[in-house]
Amino acid sequence: MDPAASLPASRADVTIIGGGAIGLATAYFLAIHPKPCSVTVIERDPTYALASTPRASGGIRRQFARDENIHLSNFSIPFFDGFEALMEVDGERPDINLRKNGYLFIVPPEQMANLERNFTRQRSLGANVELLDRDMLRSAYPSMNVDDLGGGVRSPDDGWLDPYSVLMGLRKKVKSLGVALVTDEVTGIARQGSLVRSVQLKSGARIATDAVVNAAGAWAAKICAMVGMTAPISPLRRYEHYFEAAEPIEPLPYLKDVRRLAFRPEGKGYSGGVPTLDEPRGFNFEADHSYFEEVVWPALAHRFPQFERTKCKATLPGLYDQNDFDGNPIIGAWTGECSNFFLNAGYSGHGLMHSPGSGRAIAELILDGSFQTTDLSRLGWSRVVENKPYPETGII
């Protein structure tokens, strides 16, 4: 039993299922909202042994195509800038190892038009982004093979952080704000007509509640099924590899290649990989060590000759909560069916970076009755019902 956990309350105004970054950020914004409410977070494993947050890469960026994701980043990244002060408890501040070394998207010539459209949109919404042609890339990053590239966009104010430290910082903070942290597993959700009334736990406890937030990440579809909702969210295995270069490379930002190669500096080496959407869906935490040699290493060596003799030092499998409908999160109530059941999942790899923004949005929906600061309606459930996907374009 987690020493920070409390016994399940018999009642909570809001019950959050899932104690990762998304669930805890939601709890934080509910707890600091001017309208008081009681909040319970249910997390079955507070060691987070298989949780997605501590296995994430930790990237934070503004480079998206959809306005909503750019707005979420525009709020969340400054939030992380001030995270250590905001999460202070009893004079102690978490060190999230924030590194603002920038983000760089690179694309081949045939995708430059898409990149430029996204660049223009990002700038119009306040993002600090720079458009680089091939020669500018070659000058800025002389080690990089740019022969097959048309250009790139760099966002110098973006970067990365330590996911586990963010998780622990949020956890300690919400506990200090009076949020009940319950170590248990949800086994059922009771409905009465169009409303959720209570949550049943494996321990036998039952929590009566006015609202439920499903922030269970890769497990979100299982929670949805408990209220009769079929969500297009499934667990997708991905790897975070740690590797080193045989020869020196100039300082790099977080680099994302259109061919899905993504990596960043980490200590003496680099952390990243090549996620694939072809991976069979399921709760698979086995590490296929041949994947680095067959997929990641060729992509690295093509882009940087210094990686020709690289070796993978460690591989950490984790899960995306992949939204197979359109790759974007579902944020909001189960409209038309169960108005007090809220979904905050399906981030497809972008959950940690957007957890502050989405947590604030869900808190507004529950306590104010509507989005107050950023309209995320187009990321709601209705797009699934209407079969209107809302994917990113030219952005991974």
Q: Are residues 257 and 276 in the same domain?
A: yes
Whole-number pLDDT of residue 4 = 41
Confirm whether 189 is domain-assigned: yes
Whole-number pLDDT of residue 3 = 42
**Which helix (DSSP H) or strand (DSSP E) does residue 25 occupy?**
helix 21-31
Please report, rounded to a whole number, the percentage of residues in the chain having pLDDT higher than 70. 97
Q: Are residues 223 and 333 in the same domain?
A: yes
**Which helix (DSSP H) or strand (DSSP E) does residue 330 occupy?**
strand 330-334
CB 375 within 8 A of CB 311: no
Whole-number pLDDT of residue 258 = 75
Q: Are residues 25 and 139 in the same domain?
A: no
307, 323, 339 - which closes a domain = 323
Residue position matching structure tokens 């660049």: 119
Decide: residue 122, CB within 10 A, 0-12 exposed, 13-18 middle, 19+ buried: buried
Q: Are residues 155 and 247 in the same domain?
A: yes
Lowest mean pLDDT across 139-153, 176-190, 278-292? 278-292
Strand 233-244 and strand 254-257: pairing? unpaired
Confirm whether 180 is domain-assigned: yes
Over residues 242-260, the mean pLDDT reads: 93
Q: Are residues 240 and 341 in the same domain?
A: no
pLDDT in tens, 335-352: 999 999 999 999 999 999
pTM attached to this predicted model: 0.95
Domain of 190, CATH number, reads 3.50.50.60
User: Would you place residue 200 in the very low, low, confident or very high pLDDT band (cuts 50, 70, 90)?
Assistant: very high
Query: Alpha helix locations (H) across 199-296?
Result: 220-225, 290-291
Over residues 255-268, the mean pLDDT reads: 92
Q: Are residues 117 and 147 in the same domain?
A: yes
**DSSP class of residue 296?**
I
Confirm whether 148 is domain-assigned: yes
Lowest mean pLDDT across 212-221, 252-261, 341-350? 252-261
Domain of 146, CATH number, reads 3.30.9.10
Whole-number pLDDT of residue 2 = 45
Per-position DSSP letters for 156-197, written without gaps between them: TT-EE--HHHHHHHHHHHHHHTT-EEEE--EEEEEEETTEEE
Q: Are residues 373 and 317 in the same domain?
A: no
pLDDT in tens, 43-99: 999 999 999 999 999 999 999 999 999 999 999 999 999 999 999 999 999 999 999
**DSSP class of residue 356?**
H
Amino acid at 281: R
Confirm whether 285 is domain-assigned: yes
**DSSP class of residue 311?**
E
Q: Are residues 201 and 262 in the same domain?
A: no
Max distance between CA atoms of the chain, in angstroms, equals: 64
> Cα angle vertex 266, ends 272, 153, to 5°?
60
> Cα angle vertex 23, ends 18, 24, to 5°?
120
pLDDT in tens, 94-113: 999 999 999 999 999 999 99
Domain that holds residue 372: 11-59+164-232+326-385
Whole-number pLDDT of residue 278 = 86
Q: Are residues 171 and 309 in the same domain?
A: no
Decide: residue 204, CB within 10 A, 0-12 exposed, 13-18 middle, 19+ buried: exposed
Confirm whether 3 is domain-assigned: no
User: Would you place residue 395 in the very low, low, confident or very high pLDDT band (cuts 50, 70, 90)?
Assistant: confident
Q: Are residues 21 and 46 in the same domain?
A: yes
Token pair listed for 69 = 């994701």
Strand 130-133 and strand 254-257: pairing? unpaired
Q: Are residues 155 and 168 in the same domain?
A: no
Question: Which residues, other chains included, contact 71 with Cβ-Cβ below 8 Å and sequence gap of 6+?
Answer: 125, 357, 374
Token pair listed for 97 = 């190892």
Confirm whether 264 is domain-assigned: yes
Q: Are residues 219 and 336 in the same domain?
A: yes
CB 333 within 8 A of CB 207: no
Confirm whether 70 is domain-assigned: no
289, 305, 323 - which closes a domain = 323
Domain count, the chain: 2
Distance CA 152, CA 20 (A): 33
308, 323, 338 - which closes a domain = 323
Neighbours of 266 (CB within 10 A): 17
Mean residue pLDDT of the chain comes to 95
Confirm whether 204 is domain-assigned: yes
Length of the chain: 396
